[in-house]
């Protein structure tokens, strides 16, 4: 393929720009009313169209026919008055001083000089200080657009002098439509299942999805299917997901090792999310939900994620075996804990590390439910899923899921019709009783007693033995999750 897909199909008109409808409306309205800012900050995840939108805007403010036609009549890709800088490689004070000197010169061929500074957060403190005065009082013929994936690293003094627009990850229908259209233009057949998988793999990034599609097209000339995606990106089909979940459920360390070694390290996170989605959609392996949520949450902190997963299972298995062995050799004369207490400890080991541990099991179950609900929603809508995770479970009342949130702007967003529908549809997959939704604020707390949704945890079947009278019980400290030495395990795996 002679041209990279994301460059070949880069929008050259606002009408071709997918997603970011609110941002498009703001920019177009400001141009039509000659009321655009001298400085902008475009922030958001990579691959969401920040630089592309900056180029479109730079062309639009210099297009004399824009107001009449309602879109670009000409797209200039190499104008000397549209200057792009990569702050990652031009981050010093000398580069910014040169820019500061050049802004005073009038445009050579256009009405406005536009400076697009990509990865702006990479500028040094001294460079930001040098840029500050120019941003504060720029010449009338100059517009600055700073693009960044990390807006929190931009100094407050800079933020106060620019108009900030936040880009979001693509909605599933927007990104899938673009993949389908590109495949059509390239005369490539692609199944709906393959498109869906590409969307999930890209994480909502237009650029990533286009790069992945290009890779798949290069390796498959006939028809792209889900199997093609699995093969190209080192993923496992449904059978592999079942084997993975079965090995977790049965504490089968050897089988788990075999499955993990078949997965490409780059896409392990995606595989774990697919495994969780399989449980939700098929109502199987529900007993491993707490363990799987724990793995998904904590594996990201480890360099060798596969070793962590194996070690996690090995630790749980060793705890259970040690308990059983101790009980066999120390019959009822010396009892460390009652059998019911042991079962409870094993269940606690399977709880997510970030859940609130307390004596009320319903609170833990509620935390699991909110976490699972947020994770599933994030697959299609990152922002909505993240906000759902900030909610507190209140109750399920006559089929209505009631959630609490202390921020009014979150409540307003959650109550938007499209978001309500997404939450209800997803929650119903976790609990079939749920048919409706209500968001309660701190000012309107629900008085009904919470009824936490059930999260099934596989219990160890052990008969309770009568403890002899006047036998003192000893307290055994529960082993910490990551305190064991896994050096031998790492060597055996590697």
Convert 423-487 into a string of H (helix), E (strand) and C (coil). Answer: HHHHHHHHCCCCCEEEEECHHHCCCCCCCCCCCCCCCCCCCCCCCCCCCCCCCCCCCCCCCCCCH
Report residue 290's pLDDT band, with 50, 70 and 90 as the boundaries: confident
Q: Per-residue pLDDT for 494 more than 60?
A: no
Q: Are residues 75 and 12 in contact, defined by beta-carbon separation less than 8 angstroms? A: yes
What distance in Å separates the CA atoms of residue 80 and residue 476, rounded to the nearest whole number?
74
Q: Per-residue pLDDT for 162 more than 80?
A: yes
In this structure, what DSSP letter does residue 352 have?
A: -
**First-residue to last-residue Cα distance in the chain:** 37
Q: Per-residue pLDDT for 459 more than 60?
A: no
Average pLDDT, the chain: 78
User: How is the chain split into domains, by residue range?
Assistant: 5-166, 172-233, 249-350+479-493, 366-444
Give the per-residue pLDDT at 454: 46
What distance in Å separates the CA atoms of residue 209 and residue 225, rounded to the nearest whole number?
15
Mean pLDDT within 118-124 = 91
Nearest in space to 178 (alpha carbons), one of 39, 17, 44, 300: 17
Nearest in space to 275 (alpha carbons), one of 361, 65, 201, 284: 284
Encoded tokens for 260: 């993990």
Fold annotation for 366-444: GMP Synthetase; Chain A, domain 3 (3.30.300)
Q: Is the dihedral of CA 272, 276, 281, 286 positive or negative?
A: positive
Mean pLDDT within 7-28 = 89
Give the per-residue pLDDT at 134: 86
Most confident of 270-274, 335-339, 368-372, 423-427: 423-427
**SS3 category, 326:** helix
Give the per-residue pLDDT at 283: 74
Mean pLDDT within 235-245 = 86
pLDDT 10s digits, 212-229 = 898 888 876 678 888 888
Q: Per-residue pLDDT for 254 more than 70?
A: yes
pTM: 0.57
What distance in Å separates the CA atoms of residue 369 and residue 349, rounded to the nearest whole number?
17
Q: Are residues 63 and 74 in contact, defined by beta-carbon separation less than 8 angstroms? A: yes
Mean pLDDT within 26-33 = 94
Give the per-residue pLDDT at 277: 83
Q: Per-residue pLDDT for 482 more than 50?
A: no
Q: Are residues 52 and 10 in contact, defined by beta-carbon separation less than 8 angstroms? A: yes
Give the per-residue pLDDT at 432: 78
Give the per-residue pLDDT at 53: 94
* Domain covering 172-233 in this structure, CATH number: 1.10.8.60
Nearest in space to 219 (alpha carbons), one of 253, 251, 188, 174: 188
Encoded tokens for 39: 């400085």
Share of the chain above pLDDT 70, in %: 78
Q: Per-residue pLDDT for 319 more than 70?
A: no
What distance in Å separates the CA atoms of residue 92 and residue 123, rounded to the nearest whole number?
7
Mean pLDDT within 150-179 = 90
What distance in Å separates the CA atoms of residue 103 and residue 83, rounded to the nearest whole number?
11
Mean pLDDT within 114-126 = 91
Give the per-residue pLDDT at 31: 94
Give the per-residue pLDDT at 423: 93
Most confident of 151-165, 236-250, 380-394: 151-165
* Domain covering 5-166 in this structure, CATH number: 3.40.50.300
Q: Is the dihedral of CA 102, 104, 108, 111 positive or negative?
A: positive
Report residue 302's pLDDT band, with 50, 70 and 90 as the boundaries: confident
Strand partners, 39: 144
């Amino acid at each position: 393929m002679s041209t990279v897909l994301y460059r070949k199909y880069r929008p050259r008109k606002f009408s071709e720009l997918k997603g970011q409808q609110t941002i498009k409306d703001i920019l177009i309205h400001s141009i039509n009313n000659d009321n655009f800012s001298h400085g902008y900050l475009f922030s958001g995840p990579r691959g969401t169209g920040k630089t592309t939108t900056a180029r479109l805007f730079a062309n639009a403010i210099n297009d004399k026919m824009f107001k009449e036609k309602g879109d670009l009549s000409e797209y200039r890709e190499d104008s000397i008055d549209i200057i792009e800088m990569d702050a990652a490689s031009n981050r010093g004070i000398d580069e910014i001083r040169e820019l500061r000197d050049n802004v005073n010169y009038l445009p050579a061929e256009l009405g406005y000089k536009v400076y697009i500074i990509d990865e702006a957060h990479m500028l040094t403190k001294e460079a930001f200080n040098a840029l500050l005065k120019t941003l504060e009082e720029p010449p009338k013929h100059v517009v600055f657009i700073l693009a960044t994936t990390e807006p929190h690293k931009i100094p407050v003094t800079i933020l106060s002098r620019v108009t900030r627009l936040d880009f979001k990850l693509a909605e599933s229908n927007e990104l899938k439509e673009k993949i389908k259209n590109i495949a059509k233009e390239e005369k490539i057949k692609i199944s709906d299942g393959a498109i869906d998988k590409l969307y999930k793999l890209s994480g909502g990034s237009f650029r990533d999805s286009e790069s992945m599609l290009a890779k798949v097209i290069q390796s498959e000339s006939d028809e792209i299917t889900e199997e093609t995606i699995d093969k190209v990106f080192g993923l496992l089909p449904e059978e592999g997901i079942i084997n993975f979940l079965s090995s977790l459920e049965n504490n089968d360390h050897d089988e788990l090792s075999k499955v993990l070694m078949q997965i490409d390290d780059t896409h392990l996170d995606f595989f774990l999310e697919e495994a969780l989605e399989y449980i939700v959609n098929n109502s199987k392996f529900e007993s491993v939900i707490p363990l799987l949520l724990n793995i998904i949450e904590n594996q990201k902190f480890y360099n060798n994620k596969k070793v962590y997963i194996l070690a996690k299972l090995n630790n749980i298995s060793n705890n259970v075996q040690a308990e059983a062995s101790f009980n066999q050799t120390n019959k009822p004369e010396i009892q460390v804990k009652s059998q019911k207490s042991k079962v409870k400890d094993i269940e606690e080991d399977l709880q997510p590390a970030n859940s609130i541990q307390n004596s009320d099991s319903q609170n833990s179950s509620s935390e699991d439910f909110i976490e699972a609900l947020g994770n599933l929603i994030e697959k299609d809508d990152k922002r909505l899923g993240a906000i759902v995770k900030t909610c507190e479970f209140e109750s399920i009342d006559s089929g209505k899921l009631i959630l609490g949130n202390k921020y009014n702007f979150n409540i307003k967003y959650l109550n938007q019709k499209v978001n309500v529908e997404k939450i209800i549809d997803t929650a119903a997959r976790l609990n079939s009783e749920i048919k409706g939704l209500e968001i309660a604020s701190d000012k309107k707390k629900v008085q009904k007693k919470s009824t936490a949704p059930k999260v099934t945890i596989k219990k160890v079947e052990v008969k309770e033995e009568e403890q002899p009278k006047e036998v003192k019980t000893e307290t055994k400290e529960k082993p910490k999750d990551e305190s064991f030495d896994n050096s031998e395990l790492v060597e055996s795996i590697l």
